[in-house]
Structure 1
Protein backbone atom coordinates (compact mmCIF):
# COMPACT_ATOMS: atom_id res chain seq x y z
CA UNK A 1 0.00 0.00 0.00
CA UNK A 2 1.28 3.47 -0.81
CA UNK A 3 1.99 5.79 2.08
CA UNK A 4 0.10 9.07 2.20
CA UNK A 5 3.42 10.92 2.43
CA UNK A 6 4.40 9.49 -0.97
CA UNK A 7 1.19 10.70 -2.57
CA UNK A 8 1.55 14.12 -0.98
CA UNK A 9 5.16 14.41 -2.17
CA UNK A 10 4.14 13.26 -5.67
CA UNK A 11 1.43 15.91 -5.67
CA UNK A 12 4.04 18.48 -4.67
CA UNK A 13 6.37 17.32 -7.45
CA UNK A 14 3.59 17.52 -10.04
CA UNK A 15 2.21 20.82 -8.72
CA UNK A 16 3.42 22.85 -11.73
CA UNK A 17 1.40 20.61 -14.03
CA UNK A 18 -1.70 21.05 -11.86
CA UNK A 19 -1.14 24.80 -11.95
CA UNK A 20 -0.92 24.77 -15.75
CA UNK A 21 -4.16 22.77 -15.83
CA UNK A 22 -5.95 25.69 -14.17
CA UNK A 23 -5.04 27.98 -17.05
CA UNK A 24 -5.89 25.41 -19.76
CA UNK A 25 -2.29 25.05 -20.86
CA UNK A 26 -2.27 21.27 -20.30
CA UNK A 27 -4.78 18.52 -20.83
CA UNK A 28 -6.10 16.63 -17.80
CA UNK A 29 -4.72 13.33 -19.12
CA UNK A 30 -1.22 14.80 -19.37
CA UNK A 31 -1.44 16.06 -15.80
CA UNK A 32 -2.48 12.62 -14.58
CA UNK A 33 0.38 11.01 -16.49
CA UNK A 34 2.84 13.42 -14.86
CA UNK A 35 1.36 12.61 -11.46
CA UNK A 36 1.63 8.87 -12.09
CA UNK A 37 5.26 9.29 -13.11
CA UNK A 38 5.90 11.33 -9.96
CA UNK A 39 4.53 8.63 -7.63
CA UNK A 40 7.36 6.06 -8.04
CA UNK A 41 9.95 8.83 -8.07
CA UNK A 42 8.56 10.18 -4.80
CA UNK A 43 8.48 6.67 -3.34
CA UNK A 44 12.15 6.12 -4.19
CA UNK A 45 13.23 9.49 -2.83
CA UNK A 46 11.34 9.07 0.44
CA UNK A 47 12.59 5.48 0.83
CA UNK A 48 16.16 6.73 0.44
CA UNK A 49 15.50 9.46 3.00
CA UNK A 50 14.02 6.91 5.43
CA UNK A 51 17.06 4.64 4.90
CA UNK A 52 19.47 7.47 5.66
CA UNK A 53 17.53 8.68 8.69
CA UNK A 54 17.27 5.14 10.12
CA UNK A 55 20.99 5.23 10.86
CA UNK A 56 20.48 8.17 13.21
CA UNK A 57 17.85 6.52 15.40
CA UNK A 58 18.80 5.69 18.95
CA UNK A 59 19.08 2.03 19.82
CA UNK A 60 17.11 1.38 23.04
CA UNK A 61 19.24 -1.70 23.84
CA UNK A 62 22.57 0.10 23.52
CA UNK A 63 24.58 0.48 26.69
CA UNK A 64 25.69 4.00 27.51
CA UNK A 65 29.42 4.61 27.28
CA UNK A 66 31.22 7.03 29.55
CA UNK A 67 34.22 8.73 27.99
CA UNK A 68 37.57 8.25 29.67
CA UNK A 69 40.65 10.36 29.01
CA UNK A 70 43.37 8.61 27.02
CA UNK A 71 46.22 10.89 28.08
CA UNK A 72 47.52 10.56 31.61
CA UNK A 73 46.90 13.56 33.82
CA UNK A 74 49.94 15.86 34.18
CA UNK A 75 51.68 15.57 37.54
CA UNK A 76 50.60 18.19 40.03
CA UNK A 77 53.42 20.46 41.34
Structure 2
Protein backbone atom coordinates (compact mmCIF):
# COMPACT_ATOMS: atom_id res chain seq x y z
CA UNK A 1 0.00 0.00 0.00
CA UNK A 2 1.30 3.42 -0.90
CA UNK A 3 1.53 5.82 2.01
CA UNK A 4 -0.23 9.17 1.76
CA UNK A 5 3.07 10.95 2.37
CA UNK A 6 4.48 9.34 -0.79
CA UNK A 7 1.52 10.51 -2.85
CA UNK A 8 1.76 14.00 -1.42
CA UNK A 9 5.49 14.17 -2.13
CA UNK A 10 4.91 12.85 -5.67
CA UNK A 11 2.30 15.53 -6.17
CA UNK A 12 4.82 18.11 -4.98
CA UNK A 13 7.45 16.74 -7.38
CA UNK A 14 5.04 16.88 -10.30
CA UNK A 15 3.62 20.29 -9.37
CA UNK A 16 5.26 22.09 -12.32
CA UNK A 17 3.45 19.75 -14.70
CA UNK A 18 0.13 20.44 -12.97
CA UNK A 19 0.82 24.16 -13.28
CA UNK A 20 1.50 23.79 -16.99
CA UNK A 21 -1.77 21.85 -17.28
CA UNK A 22 -3.65 24.80 -15.77
CA UNK A 23 -1.99 27.11 -18.30
CA UNK A 24 -3.07 24.65 -21.03
CA UNK A 25 0.49 24.02 -22.22
CA UNK A 26 0.46 20.20 -21.93
CA UNK A 27 -2.11 17.41 -21.97
CA UNK A 28 -3.64 15.68 -18.97
CA UNK A 29 -2.12 12.37 -20.11
CA UNK A 30 1.39 13.82 -19.94
CA UNK A 31 0.73 15.20 -16.47
CA UNK A 32 -0.54 11.84 -15.23
CA UNK A 33 2.47 10.06 -16.72
CA UNK A 34 4.79 12.48 -14.92
CA UNK A 35 2.87 11.90 -11.70
CA UNK A 36 3.12 8.12 -12.11
CA UNK A 37 6.86 8.43 -12.66
CA UNK A 38 7.14 10.64 -9.58
CA UNK A 39 5.42 8.10 -7.29
CA UNK A 40 8.21 5.46 -7.22
CA UNK A 41 10.86 8.18 -7.07
CA UNK A 42 9.11 9.73 -4.06
CA UNK A 43 8.77 6.32 -2.43
CA UNK A 44 12.50 5.62 -2.76
CA UNK A 45 13.48 9.08 -1.49
CA UNK A 46 11.18 8.90 1.52
CA UNK A 47 12.28 5.34 2.32
CA UNK A 48 15.88 6.52 2.33
CA UNK A 49 14.97 9.41 4.61
CA UNK A 50 13.13 7.06 6.97
CA UNK A 51 16.13 4.72 7.01
CA UNK A 52 18.52 7.52 7.92
CA UNK A 53 16.24 8.94 10.59
CA UNK A 54 15.56 5.52 12.14
CA UNK A 55 19.06 5.49 13.59
CA UNK A 56 18.27 8.57 15.67
CA UNK A 57 15.21 7.14 17.41
CA UNK A 58 15.41 6.24 21.07
CA UNK A 59 15.55 2.53 21.72
CA UNK A 60 13.24 0.83 24.20
CA UNK A 61 16.11 -1.14 25.72
CA UNK A 62 17.22 -0.32 29.22
CA UNK A 63 20.57 1.39 29.35
CA UNK A 64 23.42 -0.44 31.01
CA UNK A 65 24.54 0.28 34.53
CA UNK A 66 26.25 3.63 34.90
CA UNK A 67 30.03 3.57 34.90
CA UNK A 68 31.64 5.10 37.96
CA UNK A 69 35.02 6.60 37.25
CA UNK A 70 37.96 5.37 39.31
CA UNK A 71 40.80 7.54 40.35
CA UNK A 72 44.07 6.95 38.55
CA UNK A 73 47.21 7.85 40.39
CA UNK A 74 50.07 8.20 37.99
CA UNK A 75 53.37 6.83 39.27
CA UNK A 76 56.08 9.24 40.17
CA UNK A 77 58.62 9.87 37.45
CA UNK A 78 61.40 7.34 37.50
CA UNK A 79 59.45 4.65 39.46
CA UNK A 80 57.95 1.54 37.94
CA UNK A 81 54.21 1.00 38.41
What pairs up with 1:20-59 in 2 under 5 angstroms?
20-59=20-59
SS of aligned partner of 1:57: coil
Q: Which has the larger radius of gyration?
A: 2
- CA shift at 1:25, angstroms? 0.4
| Consecutive unaligned residues in structure 1, runs of 5 or more | none
Aligned residue pair count: 74
Describe the superposition over 1:9-67 as per-residue Cα deviations: whole angstroms up to 9, x where unpaired: 00000000000000110100000000000000000000000000000000111316646
Distance 1:62-1:23 versus aligned 2 partners, 3 A rule: same
Unaligned runs of 5+ in 2: 74-81
| TM-score, normalising length: structure 1 | 0.83
Give distance in 2, aligned partners of 1:65 and 1:29.
62
TM norm structure 2? 0.79
CA distance in 2, matches of 1:38, 1:65: 49
CA distance in 1, matches of 2:71, 2:35: 60
